[in-house]
Amino acid sequence: MQDAENVAAPEAAEQRAEPGQQQEQQPAAEPPPGEEPPRPGGPGAQEAASGEDAAAEVEAGPGPDVPAEPAAGREEAAGAAPGSSPPPPEESLAPVPAAGEQPGGAAEDGGADEPSFSDPEDFVDDVSEEELLGDILKDRPQEADGIDSVIVVDNVPQVGPDRLEKLKNVIHKIFSKFGKITNDFYPEEDGKTKGYIFLEYASPAHAVDAVKNADGYKLDKQHTFRVNLFTDFDKYMTISDEWDIPEKQPFKDLGNLRYWLEEAECRDQYSVIFESGDRTSIFWNDVKDPVSIEERARWTETYVRWSPKGTYLATFHQRGIALWGGEKFKQIQRFSHQGVQLIDFSPCERYLVTFSPLMDTQDDPQAIIIWDILTGQKKRGFHCESSAHWPIFKWSHDGKFFARMTLDTLSIYETPSMGLLDKKSLKISGIKDFSWSPGGNIIAFWVPEDKDIPARVTLMQLPTRQEIRVRNLFNVVDCKLHWQKNGDYLCVKVDRTPKGTQGVVTNFEIFRMREKQVPVDVVEMKETIIAFAWEPNGSKFAVLHGEAPRISVSFYHVKSNGKIELIKMFDKQQANTIFWSPQGQFVVLAGLRSMNGALAFVDTSDCTVMNIAEHYMASDVEWDPTGRYVVTSVSWWSHKVDNAYWLWTFQGRLLQKNNKDRFCQLLWRPRPPTLLSQEQIKQIKKDLKKYSKIFEQKDRLSQSKASKELVERRRTMMEDFRKYRKMAQELYMEQKNERLELRGGVDTDELDSNVDDWEEETIEFFVTEEIIPLGNQE
Amino acid sequence: MKPILLQGHERSITQIKYNREGDLLFTVAKDPIVNVWYSVNGERLGTYMGHTGAVWCVDADWDTKHVLTGSADNSCRLWDCETGKQLALLKTNSAVRTCGFDFGGNIIMFSTDKQMGYQCFVSFFDLRDPSQIDNNEPYMKIPCNDSKITSAVWGPLGECIIAGHEGGELNQYSAKRSQPGAESALCHRGAGMYSRPRVNGASSRKRKTFHRQKEQHMQRHSVKSSGEVLVNVKEHSRQINDIQLSRDMTMFVTASKDNTAKLFDSTTLEHQKTFRTERPVNSAALSPNYDHVVLGGGQEAMDVTTTSTRIGKFEARFFHLAFEEEFGRVKGHFGPINSVAFHPDGKSYSSGGEDGYVRIHYFDPQYFEFEFEA
Is residue B222 pLDDT above 70, yes or no? no
Distance between CA atoms of residues B285 and B344, nearest Å: 11
pLDDT digits 0-9 by tens, B114-127: 887 888 899 999 98
Average pLDDT of span A603-620? 90
Give me the pLDDT at residue A387, please: 65
Those residues with Cβ within 8 angstroms of residue A102's Cβ, 6 or more apart along the chain or in another chain: A51, A54, A55, A58
The larger pLDDT score, comparing residue A534 to residue A146, is at A534
Is B84 at the interface with chain A, CB within 8 A?
Answer: no
pLDDT digits 0-9 by tens, A474-517: 888 899 999 999 899 999 999 988 887 778 889 999 999 988 88
pLDDT digits 0-9 by tens, A318-351: 889 999 998 888 889 999 888 888 999 999 999 9
Does residue A36 contact residue A61 with C-beta atoms inside 8 Å?
no
Are the Cβ atoms of B248 and A729 closer than 8 angstroms?
A: yes
Give me the pLDDT at residue B274, please: 94
The larger pLDDT score, comparing residue A316 to residue A3, is at A316
Is residue A705 pLDDT above 60, yes or no? yes
Are the Cβ atoms of A763 and B41 closer than 8 angstroms?
A: yes
* Residue A244 CB coordination number (10 Å): 6
The string over A42-67, giving b where at least 16 C-beta atoms fall within 10 Å of a residue's C-beta and e elsewhere, is bebbbeebbeebbbbbbbbbbeeebe
Are the Cβ atoms of B278 and A728 closer than 8 angstroms?
A: no
Is A117 at the interface with chain B, CB within 8 A?
Answer: no
Give me the pLDDT at residue A420, please: 87
Give me the pLDDT at residue B202, please: 33
| ipTM of the complex in this document | 0.80
Distance between CA atoms of residues A694 and B222, nearest Å: 74
Q: Considering just the CA atoms, what is the radius of gyration of chain B in Å?
A: 20
Name, of A20-24, A127-131, A264-268, A645-649, the range with top average pLDDT. A645-649
Does residue A271 contact residue A282 with C-beta atoms inside 8 Å?
yes
Average pLDDT of span A239-268? 82
The larger pLDDT score, comparing residue A148 to residue A505, is at A505
Are the Cβ atoms of A724 and B311 closer than 8 angstroms?
A: no
Among A262-271, A769-778, B29-38, B77-86, the least confident range: A769-778
Strands A466-473 and A529-534, by their bridges, are unpaired
Average pLDDT of span B198-225? 37
Are the Cβ atoms of A743 and B303 closer than 8 angstroms?
A: no
| pLDDT band for position B254 (cuts 50, 70, 90) | very high
The larger pLDDT score, comparing residue A43 to residue A606, is at A606
pLDDT digits 0-9 by tens, A97-145: 444 344 444 444 444 566 677 777 777 777 777 777 777 777 766 655 6
The larger pLDDT score, comparing residue B153 to residue A19, is at B153
pLDDT digits 0-9 by tens, A676-703: 898 998 999 899 899 899 889 988 888 8
Is B321 at the interface with chain A, CB within 8 A?
Answer: yes
Average pLDDT of span A445-455? 88
Give me the pLDDT at residue B74, please: 92
Of the candidates A290, A171, A165, the residue with the CA atom closest to the CA atom of residue A223: A171
Is residue B174 pLDDT above 50, yes or no? yes
| pLDDT band for position A384 (cuts 50, 70, 90) | confident
Of the candidates A672, A670, A684, A728, the residue with the CA atom closest to the CA atom of residue A304: A670
Q: Is the dihedral of CA A752, A755, A759, A762 positive or negative?
A: positive
| pLDDT band for position B292 (cuts 50, 70, 90) | very high
Is residue A2 pLDDT above 80, yes or no? no
Are the Cβ atoms of A729 and B250 closer than 8 angstroms?
A: yes
Average pLDDT of span A265-271? 90
Of B217, B310, B311, the CB nearest to A742: B217
| pLDDT band for position A40 (cuts 50, 70, 90) | very low
pLDDT digits 0-9 by tens, A712-737: 999 999 999 999 999 988 988 888 88
The larger pLDDT score, comparing residue A180 to residue A127, is at A180
Is residue A459 pLDDT above 60, yes or no? yes
Give me the pLDDT at residue B301, please: 59
The percent of residues above 90 in pLDDT, for chain B, comes to 55
pLDDT mean across residues, chain B: 83
Does residue A153 contact residue A197 with C-beta atoms inside 8 Å?
yes
Give me the pLDDT at residue A108, please: 46
Of B23, B104, B250, the CB nearest to A732: B250
Is residue B217 pLDDT above 80, yes or no? no
Give me the pLDDT at residue A114, please: 64
The percent of residues above 90 in pLDDT, for chain A, comes to 27
Are the Cβ atoms of A743 and B21 closer than 8 angstroms?
A: no
List chain B residues with CB under 8 Å of A720: 322
Give me the pLDDT at residue B98, please: 94
How far is C-alpha A289 from the chain's CA centre? 32
Is residue B203 pLDDT above 50, yes or no? no
Among A115-124, A320-329, A383-392, A449-458, the least confident range: A115-124
The 3-state DSSP class for residue A436 equals strand
Those residues with Cβ within 8 angstroms of residue B372's Cβ, 6 or more apart along the chain or in another chain: A714, B320, B323, B325, B327
Is residue A307 pLDDT above 70, yes or no? yes
The percent of residues above 70 in pLDDT, for chain B, comes to 83
Those residues with Cβ within 8 angstroms of residue A387's Cβ, 6 or more apart along the chain or in another chain: none
Are the Cβ atoms of A616 and B311 closer than 8 angstroms?
A: yes
Is residue A428 pLDDT above 60, yes or no? yes
CB pairs under 8 A between A and B: 90
pLDDT digits 0-9 by tens, A45-102: 444 444 444 444 444 434 444 444 444 444 444 444 444 444 444 444 444 444 434 4
Of the candidates B170, B197, B215, B184, the residue with the CA atom closest to the CA atom of residue B76: B197
| pLDDT band for position A590 (cuts 50, 70, 90) | very high
Are the Cβ atoms of B344 and A751 closer than 8 angstroms?
A: yes
Does residue B353 contact residue B13 with C-beta atoms inside 8 Å?
yes
Give me the pLDDT at residue A768, please: 63
Give me the pLDDT at residue A483, please: 93
Give me the pLDDT at residue A104, please: 43
Average pLDDT of span B196-208? 34
Q: What is this structure's pTM?
A: 0.62
Q: What is residue A250's DSSP assignment?
A: P
Give me the pLDDT at residue A156, please: 87
Is A641 at the interface with chain B, CB within 8 A?
Answer: yes
Does residue A113 contact residue A126 with C-beta atoms inside 8 Å?
no
Is A717 at the interface with chain B, CB within 8 A?
Answer: yes
* Nearest-neighbour CA in chain B from A596: distance (Å): 10
Give me the pLDDT at residue A144, please: 55
Give me the pLDDT at residue A221, please: 78
